[in-house]
Structure 1
Amino acid sequence: MNWTHHWRRIALTLFSAGLLALSGWGTVISSAQAAHSTAAGTPVCGTGDHGLLKDLHKKHAQQEEAPFAFSDISFLNSETGRAVGNGFMIGTSDGGCHFQEIYQGQWNFKGISFPDNVHGWAIASIGEGQANYLIASADGGSTWKNISGKATVFDRIDFMDSKNGFAYSRNAVFSTKDSGQSWTEIQTPANTRGAYFSSPSSGWSVVVAPGTGYRVMKTTDGGTTWKLSLQSGITYPTGGEIYAKGNQVYALLYGDSGMSQTSYSLYASSDKGGTWKRVIAQATAGGGPAPGSGSAQLKSGPASGRPGNMQLVGNSTAILVGYSPAGEQVAVGRTVNGGRTWSNLKPIQGFEGTISFPDSKHGWLAVREQDESAVYATADGGSSWKQKFAFKDAGR
């Protein structure tokens, strides 16, 4: 029997069932070994690529395929989470000290949603540049089933639990009550170019109407009726994203892009859209003026670059990742008081990044560079980052 393979399969089974975090299995070094390692000056927590995906990594190099790169990251808490990319998924249950290989195969993951440690959904393709499909896992990500059957129009998915979730395309929203087996389109205003639902009844929409500016609309009855929450008649965005949790609502509005730059504005509301404050208005040489109107706290976002995804925590904390490909920097900006003040934090090296913050202090960042990709962790809300996993010179 191949005992290495045997124990790896046991580890994956435990992880997928959500038991690693409970049993402490992820910490594979005993207390006696840990004391000896510390005394010998050897770090207890692993670094580098942990030897994972070695065979697939070699295959990539031989076939001159794209280097391994992270596309999304999702953490349930400060200890347990997953990171995915082109043909792989890895996970940790001990805060990144050790990582397990969860999946390797045909699926190139674009985005994932894990509401718990067992059930997961993903937008994925077979090969780069191919059609996207909606796939699902009931064992923590070890195996996946194509549940869409045909190519999907979904760009993003967000599941609340094992049954209920939402999916988004550029101008539409869909909901499911049966784990993604069937979907119902939710009525949104005309010219919607970005939306978000935090519950079956509560939703938001960015409406782009050339000649009349933009509007942020709100529904409290599941899309049956929509009311105006924020409006501008000066410059309008090309699209946007809405993030909402509790009393917090943020509208991230995109302007034009060019020269690896994107102009954008970030608006914040701490009273469910009753009042708004313009936090960031970033104009760029390549993207032109920032969309929207009104005075802004800052004329530049994190890393002075393009905006990435955003995470809201509680009723007062919000974190936005930004990245500058030309400047080779990735950073986060944050507020801890509902947008009244905003701080752009110190950047690290990278071309692009995606964040997952399970609480206001602990966060995870997947960074992509030209030939490298890495996962970083923070315990101070993004003020400092420590590398936890890296594919060095991946595939090259």
Structure 2
Amino acid sequence: MLPSKLKNIWLIVLILFVATSVSAQSIVALQQGRRTSIRGLSVLNDKVAWVSGSGGHIGITTDGGNNWTWQQVKGFEKADFRDIEAFSDKEAVIISSGSPAYILKTTDGGINWSVKYEKADTVYFLDAMDFENPRHGFVLGDPINGKFLLLETQDGGNSWAQVNDAPAAQKNEAAFAASGTCLRVADKRITIVTGGGDSHVITSPINKLNWSYNKLPLTNGAASKGAFSIAYGKKQAIVVGGDYVRNKATDSVAYIFASKHDFKKGAFPSSGPAGYQSGVEFIKDGIFVSTGTSGTNITLDGGKTWRKIGDDSYNVCRIAKNGSLILLAGDGGKVSLITLDKI
């Protein structure tokens, strides 16, 4: 048995080690100063990532974010590209929110873009996009006549068809085009989180649409409030949101579901993110990162407790589909890197 004095020394060493480990995360600015608000972010691997934003701007990196190639898509200089899905350094699909609503695709690294979907009617507003695989994907839009707009592609975004069995929407309910992550297509399921009126998790198997609706106890009841993003971990699912008008308010901005696809039982964190969060991303094990205009937060225990790691405003956070590169993006063309080396 160790003497009590030696025990105390080891306890101090352990506390210092843990404190060093959990405080090792840092946010490093890679790109800023562009006149665009970035909300679309697709990270393929540790080298290749694409961003999309307002003013028709698109950015591409092939060296992990150190250098970026920028363009304004010709003829779309006023478009607000709220989400992007990239398949390589040459091929990507973007959606434009607002009116007209567009879906564009490039196969030559952004040199040329072709229109794959177009709706001039002002009721069409595209919010988010996600793909099950490089061929099969969905685009979510705000409700029309009581149903969410849901578009589907089976050919990598070359053609799009409206899904007839789209989920129903309650009065004033909508999805937020804030980070492209109010829609997730994973684990053979499609999942949507909503706000505006009541907040819900809406989910269905992909191969046979049969929607279930579960109410979320997040801040809701107004156009600026609700659930903005969902991410699946290995065991749990985490939803974040809040009120983007009162972005420093910390009440009801995150919710944890202990089972990935059982949205009937959940809990609030004992210590949540510090304010409104527009995006959340699963990193590994029990680690998630969330971000928003109030700053960036991290949890190491599956969402039970969160700690702020940055005060700067961002809109979206994504990790590489094949790799460990974690990027943040936001207003002013800002793109940053999150390092989690010591975790």
Q: Residue 87 of structure 1 aligns with which residue? A: 56
CA shift, 1:157, in A, is 1.3
CA RMSD, aligned part only?
3.9
How far, CA to CA, are the matches of 1:205 and 1:146 in structure 2? 26
CA shift, 1:201, in A, is 4.9
- Once the two structures are superposed, what CA deviation does each residue of 1:155-214 show, in whole Å capped at 9, x if it has no partner? 21113333211111234233221333122324324426446352595233557797xx76
CA shift, 1:345, in A, is 2.7
CA contact (8 A) 2:89 2:109 kept: yes
Letter in 2 for 1:154: L
| From 132, 148, 163, the counterpart of 2:101 | 132
CA shift, 1:347, in A, is 1.6
| From 108, 112, 118, the counterpart of 2:84 | 112
CA shift, 1:361, in A, is 5.5
CA shift, 1:321, in A, is 0.5
Measured at CA, do residues 176 and 248 of structure 1 come closer, stay the same or move farther in structure 2, by a change above 3 Å? farther
SS in structure 2 of the partner of residue 96 of structure 1:
coil
Q: Is 1:335 aligned with 2:311?
A: no
Taking only the aligned residue pairs, the percentage that are identical comes to 17
CA contact (8 A) 1:202 1:221 kept: yes
Q: Residue 270 of structure 2 aligns with which residue? A: 297
How far, CA to CA, are the matches of 2:191 and 2:293 in structure 1? 26
CA contact (8 A) 1:164 1:178 kept: yes
User: Which structure would you say has the larger RCO, counting Cα contacts within 8 Å and 6 or more residues apart?
Assistant: 2
Letter in 1 for 2:138: F
Q: Residue 279 of structure 2 aligns with which residue? A: 309
Tell me which moved more, 241-250 or 139-148.
241-250
Measured at CA, do residues 174 and 314 of structure 1 come closer, stay the same or move farther in structure 2, by a change above 3 Å? farther
Q: Residue 166 of structure 2 aligns with which residue? A: 187
CA shift, 1:362, in A, is 3.2
Q: Residue 97 of structure 1 aligns with which residue? A: 66
CA contact (8 A) 2:46 2:320 kept: yes
Letter in 2 for 1:78: D
How far, CA to CA, are the matches of 1:149 and 1:48 in structure 2? 31
CA shift, 1:309, in A, is 1.5
Q: Residue 14 of structure 1 aligns with which residue? A: none
| From 170, 181, 191, the counterpart of 1:204 | 191
**Structure 2 segments unaligned to the other structure (5+ residues):** 1-28, 176-181
Q: Is 1:74 aligned with 2:42?
A: yes
CA contact (8 A) 2:237 2:256 kept: yes
CA contact (8 A) 2:218 2:255 kept: no
CA contact (8 A) 2:43 2:319 kept: yes
How far, CA to CA, are the matches of 2:266 and 2:141 in structure 1? 27
TM-score (norm 2): 0.67
Measured at CA, do residues 242 and 382 of structure 1 come closer, stay the same or move farther in structure 2, by a change above 3 Å? farther
Measured at CA, do residues 267 and 115 of structure 1 come closer, stay the same or move farther in structure 2, by a change above 3 Å? farther
Letter in 2 for 1:90: G
How far, CA to CA, are the matches of 1:379 and 1:99 in structure 2? 19
Q: Is 1:356 aligned with 2:318?
A: yes
| From 293, 308, 311, the counterpart of 1:323 | 293
Measured at CA, do residues 79 and 141 of structure 1 come closer, stay the same or move farther in structure 2, by a change above 3 Å? same
Measured at CA, do residues 227 and 382 of structure 1 come closer, stay the same or move farther in structure 2, by a change above 3 Å? farther
CA shift, 1:308, in A, is 1.6
CA shift, 1:382, in A, is 11
CA shift, 1:145, in A, is 0.9
TM-score (norm 1): 0.59
| From 322, 326, 330, the counterpart of 1:367 | 330
How far, CA to CA, are the matches of 2:103 and 2:167 in structure 1? 22
**Structure 1 segments unaligned to the other structure (5+ residues):** 1-45, 58-66, 280-295, 325-329, 384-396
Which protein shows a greater Rg?
A: 1
CA shift, 1:73, in A, is 2.7
SS in structure 2 of the partner of residue 95 of structure 1:
coil
- Once the two structures are superposed, what CA deviation does each residue of 1:101-148 show, in whole Å capped at 9, x if it has no partner? 4665343433211133332111237xxx75331111122322211111
Measured at CA, do residues 362 and 101 of structure 1 come closer, stay the same or move farther in structure 2, by a change above 3 Å? same
Instruction: Number of aligned residue pairs: give it.
Output: 287
Measured at CA, do residues 222 and 73 of structure 1 come closer, stay the same or move farther in structure 2, by a change above 3 Å? same
Measured at CA, do residues 47 and 244 of structure 1 come closer, stay the same or move farther in structure 2, by a change above 3 Å? closer
How far, CA to CA, are the matches of 2:199 and 2:68 in structure 1? 45
Measured at CA, do residues 312 and 276 of structure 1 come closer, stay the same or move farther in structure 2, by a change above 3 Å? farther
| From 155, 173, 190, the counterpart of 1:178 | 155
Letter in 2 for 1:242: I
Q: Residue 260 of structure 2 aligns with which residue? A: 272
- Once the two structures are superposed, what CA deviation does each residue of 1:49-74 show, in whole Å capped at 9, x if it has no partner? 7xxx9xxx8xxxxxxxxx34434332
How far, CA to CA, are the matches of 1:77 and 1:334 in structure 2? 21
Measured at CA, do residues 102 and 159 of structure 1 come closer, stay the same or move farther in structure 2, by a change above 3 Å? farther
How far, CA to CA, are the matches of 1:76 and 1:187 in structure 2? 29
CA contact (8 A) 2:106 2:114 kept: yes
